[in-house]
Structure 1
């Protein structure tokens, strides 16, 4: 496959800047890592974004990319793993980058491949509308075979029936790709998760899933417990299996990668740390006593679990009022103090959490009084150290954001099975989440918590792209749990998320 041009003429760059705003970032086109790119992946890469700068660190010092399976198009659609896990976007893929690629190459760029870069493979690839969910919400199509198959290859007997209520993409009712096809499939649409800071994502804090009370699953090869946090719906358990799943579906490889290719991919992914390192208002995130940035994540000092004496995001508490460096100007000092207030709010501002499967269904009561840190408590990542998945209401009605562009499913729990603990026997959802893996009613809409690092560089947010900005994240939680944050509190939390 020929490499696409990486540098543009001044005129072409101006057109790209006017249409996407992408060229306003440092090294606009050089940001992009092409499949087959033979540049050495260095120890440190720093990229500008709208809130400051994001840094990605390579624990191996540098990686030769020529022939490396993470950087090589192994399948039939021209993509490599790097295509959807760009260092400039915190090893994910931002909406800004996706639109810049469309402006540059349109459907010829492999990220718009028919299999999952289009709303459905049977749509005309040259039409922008065929890729609307990717271009407008940053969502790739995830085809899930129905009924599901468990890790041992055995078909799961679902506790519910599923009907397609709304199908704007046409894929779920397609005779070739939908539920009525010869290979019954449910298409849901999700964001790519970051391939960075994975030692936190794979860390095992329990030997069981406290959200369901079930034993934690084990790696079938090693027998060791696994975190179950790699995928939104826990359809695979290990980094190796995740790589196989991605190569087969997102790279469309016929056959399987070799053991050596899988070893190289897992080794590379495991050595990457990525986070915001500089804020446009606050300056360096490792100055004035703070210990922000990816170096802090890579070193992993102070443990992973938050507690009363070890609150999450404590690295920014050094910026509390009166503690800024003497050299800080007024605006910088104000921003830093806001970040410190946001860090305290995250752990200390309690509110009533109600009707959320995976929280209120695990014995805490309904409602339970707690803070954001109840479910986002692991240092270095902001995920939940307790394994399991949660239904926050981002996909299930009545709490989900109205999204007529997404499919809507009606799931009806069969007689003899327990209904969803808070939504009852019949649930309307844009994405059944973990229930597509287990077939259980109680799991409808449950999704694993995501890493909060590098948020400034990889909008939009939540698995279904429901929040286009950091402020929208706060607003969604504020509405969902009737928290009634003040405007200042909302801004403090946004400023905190800018620097993670």
Structure 2
């Protein structure tokens, strides 16, 4: 498709609106708004559509916008959008613009219904609960359809990113295996692999995720690993278990597993994918209840992310979510321009930002916070203690933490995920003791250390409204469930108003 020419579906919609040819010709270079029922909401591999400079999609909370610096992008022949592997998928399959460059469980269900489960998204390798299950049955893909989870197969014993073996200081056993991928023939620890299930992480706003705020890893207590390509310290924020520390390694891991690429990505393919990923930003742009997020002094939307730089700790530098501070002091004249509902919602968002920063509680028994860093157990702080990078809400301090989302007794008792028993062979875990029950050992499957069981890389907080469910294993089905999890995990004592204010804040990020 020639540069600057909109897709055929878009042209048809514009023609129905009676727009002139000049508008049609320039549509690909303008902001393109696409409704929830639009035929091109789903980006299939190899379509050849032009990716506009800005692209809007609706969701339950409003509109998310993806913004490509120096866009638009010609996707025909582009390795991020083409099915370069053997199963018909492309990178875009699991990193959809409508879902903030991630993948929501709702989108997966819509895709199943639209294709009868035939879309490459449901490839047996990881789009089903296990490749050995009958692939035509919906139940065989329940973890993807209900929780938005893909199967991740890790080697056992542990191997580092360069393939070198790591001797773990723990033993792992399968307690329960509802899907057969940790105990069937050729499956499980005795066969040299472990299957866990995780959410796709968003491919957007990578300038922030790659930023390194400390010269060492304070959560583990040792020096940062160095990038094998450029020798610089790595942030560790790209993958849930930090098994790939730079974009090249992440691409190669994804191509081999999720795309089933035979052979390796070429340097040219890696460069083109990296170029695209570093140019794309995604954030909520409009709110159903609050209106445009960049009005009356607020600075919501991806433009703020594009034009800013990763900030210092929120408690020291610019306060986290300060882009909505103006809504805390809307003048009477401006208030008169809003509906009562809009004004109330905007004031709620501003309160939510203050709760996020200032409402303290006791954080306890969380490895990576209460151990190694020297803060003590418990330590009193707020959400911003870990979610502290300005404009993004991820952690400027490298390293993984355990919030209990994958490990008993804090995680919900799920019967559709595998359950593992981890036994520490040396020092016991600082909070769980010598024997741990977990659905996903997390960073321990990369480091080989029992002290790292349950540690997961903190999630990016932008574009949350578009990509439910939340946490690495889909523990929280919606934004309220995120707040409720923290409430019961740390016995915070939020009021009902504080809970709703936090939900409203997260809905506009």
Shift in Å, 1:6: 8.1
| Stretches of structure 2 lacking an aligned partner (at least 5 in a row) | 1-7, 11-33
5 Å matches for 1:73-112? 73-112=83-122
Structure 2 residue aligned with 1:450, among 437, 447, 459? 459
1:130 partnered with 2:161? no
Structure 2 residue aligned with 1:200, among 198, 202, 208? 208
Shift in Å, 1:388: 0.4
**RMSD, aligned α-carbons:** 1.5
1:64 partnered with 2:74? yes
TM-score (norm 2): 0.91
Q: Distance in 1 between matches of 2:411 and 2:87?
A: 33
CA deviations on 1:393-432 (whole Å, 9 max, x unpaired) are: 0011110111111110000011xx2211100100000000
Q: Distance in 2 between matches of 1:302 and 1:441?
A: 32
Q: Distance in 2 between matches of 1:214 and 1:151?
A: 18
5 Å matches for 1:260-299? 260-299=268-307
Structure 2 residue aligned with 1:243, among 248, 251, 259? 251
Say whether the 8 Å CA contact 2:125–2:131 is kept in structure 1: yes
**Corresponding residue of 2:347:** 337
CA deviations on 1:216-269 (whole Å, 9 max, x unpaired) are: 011112111110110000001101110010000000011101010011011100
Shift in Å, 1:207: 1.4
Say whether the 8 Å CA contact 1:157–1:439 is kept in structure 2: yes
User: How many aligned positions are there?
Assistant: 476
Structure 1 residue aligned with 2:485, among 454, 476, 497? 476
**Corresponding residue of 1:405:** 416
SS in structure 1 of the partner of residue 197 of structure 2: strand
Q: Distance in 2 between matches of 1:29 and 1:176?
A: 41
Q: Distance in 2 between matches of 1:455 and 1:55?
A: 12
Shift in Å, 1:96: 1.1
**Corresponding residue of 2:439:** 430
1:373 partnered with 2:384? yes
SS in structure 2 of the partner of residue 56 of structure 1: strand
Say whether the 8 Å CA contact 1:174–1:180 is kept in structure 2: no
Q: Distance in 1 between matches of 2:80 and 2:301?
A: 24
Structure 2 residue aligned with 1:349, among 349, 353, 359? 359
Structure 1 residue aligned with 2:448, among 436, 439, 445? 439
| Stretches of structure 1 lacking an aligned partner (at least 5 in a row) | 8-23
SS in structure 2 of the partner of residue 373 of structure 1: helix
TM-score (norm 1): 0.93
Shift in Å, 1:297: 0.6
Shift in Å, 1:323: 4.0
Shift in Å, 1:381: 1.6
Q: Distance in 2 between matches of 1:380 and 1:37?
A: 33
SS in structure 2 of the partner of residue 431 of structure 1: coil
CA deviations on 1:475-499 (whole Å, 9 max, x unpaired) are: 0000000001000000000000000
Say whether the 8 Å CA contact 2:52–2:68 is kept in structure 1: yes
**Corresponding residue of 1:120:** 130
Say whether the 8 Å CA contact 1:167–1:173 is kept in structure 2: yes
**Corresponding residue of 1:38:** 48
CA deviations on 1:453-486 (whole Å, 9 max, x unpaired) are: 0000100000000000100000000000000100
CA deviations on 1:23-78 (whole Å, 9 max, x unpaired) are: x9534331111100111111000001111000000012211111100001111110
- Relative distance call for 1:169 and 1:339 in structure 2 (3 A) is same
- Relative distance call for 1:6 and 1:463 in structure 2 (3 A) is farther
Q: Distance in 1 between matches of 2:442 and 2:331?
A: 44
Say whether the 8 Å CA contact 1:45–1:57 is kept in structure 2: yes
SS in structure 2 of the partner of residue 296 of structure 1: helix
